[in-house]
Amino acid sequence: MKLLAISDTYIPYEYMRQGLMPLAAHGVEVEVRRWEHASLIELQQANLAIEQGGPDAVELPAALLAGVDAFQIVVVQFAPIGQRFLEAATSLRVIGVMRGGTENVVLEQATVRNICVLNTPGRNARAVAECTLGLMLAEIRNLARSHAGLRAGQWLRDFPNSAEIPELCGKTVGLVGYGAVGQLVAHYLEAFGSQIVACDPYFQGDPAPAQLVTLDELLCRADVVSLHARLTPESEHLIGARELALMKRSAVLVNTARSGLVDEAALIDALQSRTIMGAAIDVFDHEPLAADHPLLKLDNVTVTPHLAGSTIDAFRNSPRLTADHLIRLLDGQERVPIVNGIRPVW
């Protein structure tokens, strides 16, 4: 059995090769090919184009498709598996995606072809959760603004939230989406002494330490609203002008998930009008941000360049986690994160 892995700038060739090495003991021959970009920014732009326009919005180099009909398994992180790829990969039985989302795969066509698609849920959950907590603190405690002020020779003590600077202890934090990232954030906040509410219509089980509520109740109660939902057609612009108006004027919005969850124009209006106190944002509709972007002109927002999930640990561990899922799939085990309900016939 042959597996084609496509590395990228975030998960380079050697990480991919080493992480997938355990598959050799299960009769899988692994070949790694490089999807090259001049910089991380170029890769992020390609990924954003795929998220917004689908897998066929970005075309892979012809060299990456050479001889793909010989492979039964393909493993990627950001590389798109579009219609052209599927048409060429006539022997394909499994597509493994090294992240939680499968936006870079033409899922419907793969399902029609009876191809199993699996993901790697939670592979960078800890990285995103830790960054989320950092952004919460940076925004409510004015850490980034203070740092920038000192570098500019200013000893700042007056901020947009000067009358409302809180501690997380005793405050209510609302988590929109309660998967792997949201649950980690909840446990971190529990240690801070926060009250935690969460909204997730797909969650099953015991939500402790969070209390499950409706989205509207969460928005009305929370001092900090943090987004951790998956972006789907149903969740696009989940947070718009109506939802922002439900939030407390002293509340802060944090987004380390997907930009499409928020109506960016409505958020800018809410920040400019002080409908909400502030925001901390890691993801944007157009990346990188233009120098004249309205968010960069506001004094009540903390922005970071789409780095929440980007830790060396997350990238090194992703191929190994995917290899573990594939080994369980090959062994016929049940606990495999298949996203389209299809088990391969070898």
Residue pair 172/223 in contact (Cβ under 8 Å)? The answer is yes
Let me know: does 336 contact 119? Beta carbons within 8 Å: no
Out of 99, 126, 306, 325, the active site residue is 306
Could you say which of 190, 287, 293, 320 is catalytic?
Answer: 287
Q: Is 287 a catalytic residue?
A: yes
Which among 80, 108, 115 is positioned nearest to 94, based on CA atoms?
Answer: 115
* Cα distances (angstroms) measured from residue 248 to each of 65, 144, 190, 196, 291: 52, 23, 22, 16, 30
User: Catalytic: 187?
Assistant: no
Q: Which two tokens stand for residue 102?
A: 């499968």
DSSP state, residue 343: -
Distance between CA atoms of residues 65 and 190, nearest Å: 48
Q: Which residues of 293-302 are buried (b: 16+ CB within 10 A; e: fewer)?
A: bbbeebebbb
Q: Is 228 marked active-site?
A: no
Catalytic residue, candidates 126, 258, 264, 325 = 258
Q: Which residues contact 322 (CB under 8 A, 6 or more apart)?
A: 19, 20, 75, 96, 98, 120, 123
* Catalytic annotation, residues: 258, 287, 306
